[in-house]
A and B are shown apart, each in its own frame.
Chain A
Amino acid sequence: AQTVTQSQPEMSVQEAETVTLSCTYDTSESDYYLFWYKQPPSRQMILVIRQEAYKQQNATENRFSVNFQKAAKSFSLKISDSQLGDAAMYFCAYRRTGNQFYFGTGTSLTVIP
């Protein structure tokens, strides 16, 4: 079975600084998708960034970027210039092509003013 592990239940970062959230996953597949979702206090799940496994280039969305290490099965999220609005739960997710999604247990990010 596929598993997604987020080993950092809680993280904190100073406003305007950079923070990296870790995620590892277990799979025997070669073709799949990886995602980072943000869940603010409203509890609405918001897609932050996604990565297709066949792409070697790391995905970037404004202040958010990933470090995708396929051989190591690692998918970390870097948030640059952290803002107060970045405070939320962050979930890493894996999707095998054509099939269901698997989520990690989440990392709670606090942004310190």
Chain B
Amino acid sequence: DGGITQSPKYLFRKEGQNVTLSCEQNLNHDAMYWYRQDPGQGLRLIYYSQIVNDFQKGDIAEGYSVSREKKESFPLTVTSAQKNPTAFYLCASSTFGQGEAFFGQGTRLTVV
């Protein structure tokens, strides 16, 4: 079945650690996105990529980094520079130019 897979579902990070969230899609979509979801704030865009080896910062990119080495994969690294990383993270993909976004199941990141 085609879809988007995020892993892990739950992730715990110690202060000062970098952690990487995985996102893989087999929908053959060109565009991929990372969103952060906090209560009462909807979905805020962290990074997005429209083609391999290219990506753009979203509204809240500080403290995050991404790579897009393969069309299917768009991992997100939460660095120690991100001061308040506890949140729910959603990965999405879409065809380029039109149509809806398809979402993964999300990763809940907690700082311990």
Residues of A within 8 A of B (CB): 9, 33, 35, 42-45, 47, 50, 91, 93, 95, 97-98, 100-101, 103-106
Complex contact B43–A103 (CB within 8 A): yes
Contact of A91 among B43, B98, B102 (CB under 8 A): B43
Which A residues lie within 8 Å of B40 (CB)? 9, 105
Using an 8 Å CB-CB cutoff, how does the interface string of B77-96 with A read, 1 for contact, 0 for none?
Answer: 00000000000101010101
> Which partner residue on chain A sits nearest B59 by CB separation?
A1
| Docked-complex contact A106 and B42, CB < 8 angstroms | yes
Contacting residues, chain A, for B43 (C-beta < 8 A): 91, 103
- Count of B residues near A, CB < 8 Å? 23
The answer for the CA separation of A48 and B109 in the assembled complex, in Å, is 27
Q: B2 on the interface (CB 8 Å rule)?
A: no
Whether the pair A43, B106 counts as a contact (CB closer than 8 A) is yes
Determine how close the nearest CB of chain B comes to the CB of A42; give it in whole angstroms.
Answer: 8
